[in-house]
Structure 1
Amino acid sequence: MENRRWHLIFGFTILFITYGIVLLNIQVLSSEYKTMSEANIVDRIVEYPLRGMIYDRNGKLLASNAAVFDVMVIPKYFKLAEEDSLELANMLDYTIEELRYNIKKARTFSWFKPSILKKQLNQEDYAKVQDKIIRFKGIEIQARTIRSYPHQSLANALGYVKEVSGSFLKKDTTSYYKSGDLIGITGVEKFYEKELRGQRGVSYVMKNVKGVVKGPYENGKLDTIPRVGTTLTSSIDIELQKYGEQLMVNKVGSIVALDPSTGEILAMISAPSYDPNELTGEGKRVSKNYSKLSRNKYTPLINRAMQSRYPPGSTFKTVMAMIGLQNGEVDTLSTYFACNKRLVGCHNHPTPLNVKGSIVNSCNPWYYQEIRRLLDDEGKRYETSDRLRETLNTWREEVKGYGFGVKLGVDMPYEKSGLVPSSKLYDRIYKGGGWKISTIHSISIGQGEVLAMPIQLANLGAIIANRGYYYPPHIIKDVGGEGPIEDFKEKHTVNVKPEYVDHIARAMADVPRIGTAQRAFSKDLVVCGKTGTAQNPHGEDHSIFMGFAPLHKPKIAIAVYVENAGFGGTWAAPIASLMMEKYVNGEVKRGYLEKYIYNGDLIAKEEARKERERKLKELREKNKARYKEIQARKAKQDSIKVTTSDSE
């Protein structure tokens, strides 16, 4: 018995010591249980920062933030009488079934945490229900902000924001974004996302068992203040932008205007476009609008200024002329070529021509003969020479120096590089050989395999305006008071003598005066330009203009591209003329020309042409079928006659 007593005493002693150690760990040493207990009374509230504002070059607001209100429900405290269900559903613009589904969804998520019952009521809708909705227990309002675009303009360049998707969150290596966060998807909103998004803040509050807030946790020591997104100042002139958008109504194409002295983008029009506010706000509305825009056959979501690749047409002749002068293959005074239409088609004009005349009259055979000199073709008929491959690749590198076939580094995503063909490309097309000058000569006049974006043509205008250099085109001129990104301050010099560029600039000054665009321009402004007409196998030719103004101390360089519009002097040149007059002079005095452009519904014209082609094709098919039917009937009759004759 004595041994058993000591065994019991020893066992209970060990038990009490173990319990003591456990209690010491729980109450003193370990923070786990403290954290768990605090989790029941401490609520972590994320405070979302305001997204950075975007202004135009004159201080006009381009992108701001609008207040919206989420209706939240906490299922544990939500009590709803049957007779009140219809009233609440009507207030939230729900059916009874939709209301019940969302409440059930919230209960599945959590009985204690708030869930969204109705997303993003605007201020007007919230004002209608705010006095009534507070009487429903378990319902609370959470204020948020969404993006707002006051001018309903510049959609393709500004881009849009949307809530992050689940698939994005899985791939996000930064671990910054959470469900419900907004993120830039395209345009400036995407490129400058890190600057615009700011930094979210967090606050901790204490609640009692009923969920009532009792005050800040630990006097707010753990709270962080949200940091507002950085303010951006754009180089866009919103009034010039809106004017350009009006000129491009009922047309497909693009306008890009630059300040040649800085590379700042003054206007970037992609037509047709859309109201950027269509892609802000509540998810279902945005999805519906996005689906509608994405199905539009004219692709308004595409930024044609830097994503659509077009043949540059005759505007490319300025590049060819400068390369020829720099290489010594042509001379400003002594080089004359005849307009030999047996080489390539051309319109009627004086002949022979020097370099200046080739620009003013846009002579195609002149550039056929120049490229033969540049590429030093040996004239082999069936086999491509190594010499031709070498000279073509050298020519390609020289063209790239003018910003073609490369990305210019614009501060917007999804910029394309265009195309300048190499010998490898032609070897693939012609399966290893068999191409020569007569095969590829169209590249000398900006056709064939040469493709460029309107922003590259505008940059070409800036190069000529500056007499041989450019700054990378950019749309943001100031980031939070620190100026533009350093890359946009870097001067890019082209391998061409300034005097050669000046010769081309002066030739371009005669294009509006006595050349292919003389009807489109005002005598009050000295404009230097080059028209272009790009062949289009799918319809009417594309109308192109590239230039700058004025001749001395240029203020604007511009490129206009109008799809299916015909000659460059018919539509692109007048549009460019009005844009330059508006920016340089501050007003447009030629109302008759504005009226002509405004009334031009080229989309309807192109649709009518396609409809005529469709009907003509249909008629041809019917006639073809009718002809086959007649031939079959005739053959059958001839067969009957032969059979009858044989029987007789």
Structure 2
Amino acid sequence: MNNFTNRKYIIGAIFISIGLIFLIRLINIQLINNKYKLDSDSNVLRVITQYPARGLVYDRKGVLLVYNEAAYDLMLIPRQLKEIDTNAFCKLFELTKEEFIEKLTKIKNYSTYKPSVFEKELSTEAYANIQDQLYKFPGFFIETRTLRSYPNKNAAHLLGYIGEVTPGIIEKDNYYKSGDYIGKSGIELAYEDLLRGKRGVKKVMVDVHNREKGRYLNGTEDTLSISGKTLHTGIDIDLQTYGELLMQNKIGSIVAIEPSSGEILCLVSSPSYNPNMLVGREVRKNYPILSKDSLNPLFNRATMAQYPPGSIFKTIQALIAMQEGVITENTGFSCLKNLVGCHNHPSATDVASSIKMSCNPYYFQVFKKIIQQNKAKSIYKDSEIGLAEWSKRVKKFGFGGTLQTDIPGVKNGLVPGVEFYNKWYGEGRWAFSTIFSLSIGQGELGVIPIQMANLAAIIANKGFYYSPHIIKRVDEKATIPDMFKQKNYVGVDAKYFEPIIDGMHRVTSEAGGTARRAKIEGIEVCGKTGTAQNPHGEDHSVFIAFAPKDNPKIAIAVYVENAGFGGTWAAPIASLMMEKYLTDSISNKIKEQRILEANLMNVTPKK
């Protein structure tokens, strides 16, 4: 009896052990072993990427600049592809058989088990037409994503655009996969990490007829997408739109900055384009057209075009000279035209009048005092010492590549130094007489329009600037990178800016000033004209300014190519922009009409 009982327990234990083994094996297959799970996924699961809504972008007044619209991508997992009616498929998606084979081959070469984009950005109408027929084509499914839309149709160079990632980007950043979008320029590129958000995943069961049958494991393995951050910018879209209107039929740029913060109020590059031209399928059609346009509308002249600054640079020469003690605010020089050419005007008796009349011989002599300070017996060595110090001081104003900003692709410009001229002429083979054209902002000097606007902000602030930036805040948090909150001092005492500001005010307000056309009734405007020499045609028209004189709210630079003297075109454009920003109105309609009607695109080259 005992043996029988023992045998019964032993047999029971064996059955229990076998059951446990099967149970453990089942758990291993279902929950642990990735190989079986992967095979299962391939057969009954579909992993759908949940693309996040890209972050919205607003201007400084809360006007929406960039939002999202739904788009639909036709996806394919090649290993799930069954025999299908290719004729019906091609007819449904308006493809040729050759196009079908080409797309399929490319996707298979990339991966047979990963989802890939077969057809991008189906329209809402196309999506509606195919929804009920997609079950006929196993392996194909729809993923919803968003495309950008730009309601104001302006500020293309500021806002930028998004485009498909390249293989190189995928290799560098494992966040991206084939078919993803990424910011390509402007704000879209600068703040890609904030705007893109975070992808989610949805796992669904699919039957043999390619129909979704519900969430896998009741959605417990799904992850939600997280929308991108909302960006609030310092841009004034009304000012931006007005600037683009004024620059129609002109080549050049306008950059306006709030001196007290460094926020960019507008950044106009002309000619421009409607940013919606580079959205979705429109890119394929429009990008080649824009890129081949002889006027190069894709080129951001405000941040990438390098020009000689012309006479606006005299402000820096005077500031450096006063700081170094080689002149005072009361220093006068005769207008000796045998030194360098100049227009007819009385000799400048002090710094303020030299700025007002923009006297070239005055600044020839000022620059000579800066460069040749008798610190060495040799005039060549003395010039080297002087130029080295001058270059260092000029770069503190944000020229020559030292200006930081959140706009991608800003060029450095050129502040020539000792190494530059040694390479060009040979060491000990150049002196002041070789480089005197720098005194009036000509020669080898090259600056970028955003640097010019920053110079106006420096003078408005009497010696410092905040790095120019687009961002104002992220979401509702009033936080921006520390670099945009720091004052950058240029190494010139505030007292030396007083005669410069006085002279710039007289430029626009007094008889004999070079920019009377920049005068605004009821607002004290401080400005400086420039005429940058152009060996290929008419000279370029340059103007920097800020207003009002006390407690300035806007600093601006206008550069109009092939437009001649700075006071003729650049100055009135700047005055209209400042008045529009400060008063939201225009008092001088005749001035405005003259600018709007002007076509400076085909100026006759000078002979």
TM-score (norm 2): 0.88
Gaps of 5+ in 1: 1-18, 614-648
Paired position in structure 2 for 1:489: 485
> After alignment, is 540-549 or 66-75 more displaced?
66-75
Paired position in structure 2 for 1:4: none
Whole-angstrom distance in 2 between the partners of 1:306 and 1:332: 33
Per-residue Cα deviation, 1:114-165 (whole angstroms, up to 9, x for no partner): 76554212335556x3687568655654332112111111111111111111
1:95-114 equivalences under 5 Å are 98=99
Letter in 1 for 2:384: R
Alignment check: 8 A CA contact 1:311 1:534 kept: yes
Alignment check: 8 A CA contact 1:52 1:195 kept: yes
Identical amino acids, percent of aligned pairs: 46
Per-residue Cα deviation, 1:453-481 (whole angstroms, up to 9, x for no partner): 11111111111111111111001111222
1:79-94 equivalences under 5 Å are 79-80=84-85, 89=91, 92-94=93-95
Whole-angstrom distance in 2 between the partners of 1:81 and 1:452: 59
SS of 2:327 mapped into structure 1: coil
Residue 573 in 1 paired to residue 568 in 2? Answer: no
Whole-angstrom distance in 2 between the partners of 1:502 and 1:600: 36
Residue 290 in 1 paired to residue 290 in 2? Answer: no
Larger Rg: 1
Whole-angstrom distance in 1 between the partners of 2:109 and 2:307: 54
Residue 386 in 1 paired to residue 381 in 2? Answer: yes
Alignment check: 8 A CA contact 1:377 1:436 kept: no
> After alignment, is 134-143 or 341-350 more displaced?
134-143
SS of 1:603 mapped into structure 2: coil
Paired position in structure 1 for 2:217: 218
Alignment check: 8 A CA contact 1:407 1:415 kept: no
2:437 to 430, 435, 442: 442
Paired position in structure 2 for 1:600: 598
Residue 415 in 1 paired to residue 410 in 2? Answer: yes
Give, in angstroms, the shift of residue 73 of structure 1: 6.5
Per-residue Cα deviation, 1:296-345 (whole angstroms, up to 9, x for no partner): 22222221111111111100001111111112211122x11000000000
Paired position in structure 1 for 2:280: 281
SS of 2:241 mapped into structure 1: helix
Letter in 2 for 1:465: A
> After alignment, is 358-367 or 118-127 more displaced?
118-127
Alignment check: 8 A CA contact 2:458 2:465 kept: yes
SS of 2:602 mapped into structure 1: helix
Letter in 2 for 1:281: G
Q: 1:36 to 1:267 in 2, by over 3 A?
A: closer
SS of 1:602 mapped into structure 2: coil
Letter in 2 for 1:158: L
Alignment check: 8 A CA contact 2:50 2:144 kept: no
Give, in angstroms, the shift of residue 206 of structure 1: 2.9
Give, in angstroms, the shift of residue 33 of structure 1: 4.6
Letter in 2 for 1:524: G
Letter in 2 for 1:431: G
Whole-angstrom distance in 2 between the partners of 1:79 and 1:144: 26
Per-residue Cα deviation, 1:600-621 (whole angstroms, up to 9, x for no partner): 1111225xx49xx7xxxxxxxx
1:451-466 equivalences under 5 Å are 451-466=446-461
Whole-angstrom distance in 1 between the partners of 2:344 and 2:186: 44
Letter in 2 for 1:153: N
1:133-212 equivalences under 5 Å are 138=138, 140-170=141-171, 172=172, 174-212=173-211
Alignment check: 8 A CA contact 2:517 2:571 kept: no
Give, in angstroms, the shift of residue 553 of structure 1: 1.0
Per-residue Cα deviation, 1:207-240 (whole angstroms, up to 9, x for no partner): 3444443332233232211110011011000010
Alignment check: 8 A CA contact 2:51 2:144 kept: no
Whole-angstrom distance in 2 between the partners of 1:136 and 1:208: 12
Letter in 2 for 1:48: Y
Gaps of 5+ in 2: 1-17
Whole-angstrom distance in 1 between the partners of 2:162 and 2:34: 40
Alignment check: 8 A CA contact 1:251 1:272 kept: yes
1:474 to 434, 455, 469: 469
1:121-136 equivalences under 5 Å are 121-123=122-124, 126=127, 129=129
1:151-550 equivalences under 5 Å are 151-170=152-171, 172=172, 174-282=173-281, 285-333=282-330, 335-376=331-372, 385-482=380-477, 483-514=479-510, 515-550=513-548
Q: 1:169 to 1:101 in 2, by over 3 A?
A: closer
Give, in angstroms, the shift of residue 43 of structure 1: 2.4
Q: 1:486 to 1:374 in 2, by over 3 A?
A: same
Give, in angstroms, the shift of residue 288 of structure 1: 3.6
SS of 1:406 mapped into structure 2: coil
Whole-angstrom distance in 2 between the partners of 1:122 and 1:106: 22
Alignment check: 8 A CA contact 1:134 1:140 kept: yes
Per-residue Cα deviation, 1:583-641 (whole angstroms, up to 9, x for no partner): 011111222112211121111225xx49xx7xxxxxxxxxxxxxxxxxxxxxxxxxxxx
Give, in angstroms, the shift of residue 379 of structure 1: 12
Give, in angstroms, the shift of residue 38 of structure 1: 2.7
Letter in 2 for 1:51: R
Q: 1:528 to 1:235 in 2, by over 3 A?
A: same
> After alignment, is 494-503 or 447-456 more displaced?
494-503
SS of 1:339 mapped into structure 2: coil
Residue 52 in 1 paired to residue 55 in 2? Answer: yes
Alignment check: 8 A CA contact 2:164 2:181 kept: yes
Whole-angstrom distance in 2 between the partners of 1:302 and 1:151: 20
Alignment check: 8 A CA contact 1:309 1:418 kept: yes
Whole-angstrom distance in 1 between the partners of 2:517 and 2:108: 71
Letter in 2 for 1:400: K
Paired position in structure 1 for 2:121: 120
Whole-angstrom distance in 2 between the partners of 1:93 and 1:528: 62
> After alignment, is 273-282 or 26-35 more displaced?
26-35
Alignment check: 8 A CA contact 1:379 1:436 kept: no
